[in-house]
């Protein structure tokens, strides 16, 4: 469903312009740092995950309140990306380690919420997607990319 026209319409309903900019920018970063094939797969996986979560929400399997526990982790991720980009701190291993830990906490929280409603394939997709961005090499290389300022900008918008 995620890549169908119904899935795409569902995403358009729930994803604001800033989130669409983020997805486009991350795809561009991955294309530049890895390959177009990997970027396409990453984007497809993100869309599938998003559609799955939206459908679970619409079907009332998970309530908005279920995601309250993720807000803190998400805000910490946004803040860390914004601040570390601004101060050029991604070059420090300890900075990356803290951000990776925040990503892992977010992943655990998301899986705790949706695990009983999704297949092992979706669980693996979430783990692989988070694992791809939550590593020192990717964070350091991405933060040096000319388009990373767009990622930092969207993180700042999410914090408002």
The pTM of this model reads: 0.89
Q: Which segments of 34-67 does DSSP mark as H helices, in order?
A: 36-58
Closest CA to 111 of 49, 65, 159: 49
pLDDT tens digits for range 100-145: 999 999 999 999 999 999 999 999 999 999 999 999 999 999 999 9
Contact status, residue 78 vs residue 159, Cβ threshold 8 Å = yes
pLDDT tens digits for range 37-85: 999 999 999 989 998 998 898 899 998 888 888 999 999 999 999 999 9
**Exposed/middle/buried for 69, CB within 10 Å: 0-12, 13-18, 19+?**
middle
Neighbours of 37 (CB within 10 A): 10
Within 8 A by CB and 6+ apart from 143, the residues are 84, 85, 88, 90
């Amino acid at each position: 469903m995620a890549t169908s026209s119904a899935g795409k319409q569902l995403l358009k309903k729930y994803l604001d312009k800033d989130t669409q900019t983020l997805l486009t920018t991350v795809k561009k970063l991955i294309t530049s740092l890895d390959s177009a094939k990997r970027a396409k797969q990453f984007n497809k996986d993100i869309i599938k995950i998003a559609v799955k979560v939206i459908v679970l929400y619409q079907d009332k399997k998970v309530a908005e309140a279920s995601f309250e526990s993720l807000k803190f982790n998400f805000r910490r991720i946004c803040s860390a990306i914004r601040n570390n980009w601004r101060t050029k701190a991604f070059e420090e291993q300890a900075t990356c380690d803290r951000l990776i830990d925040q990503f892992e906490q977010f992943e655990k929280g998301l899986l705790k919420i949706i695990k009983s409603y999704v297949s092992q394939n979706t669980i693996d997709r979430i783990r692989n997607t988070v694992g791809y961005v939550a590593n020192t090499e990717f964070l350091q290389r991405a933060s040096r990319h000319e388009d990373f300022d767009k990622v930092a900008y969207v993180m700042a918008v999410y914090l408002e």
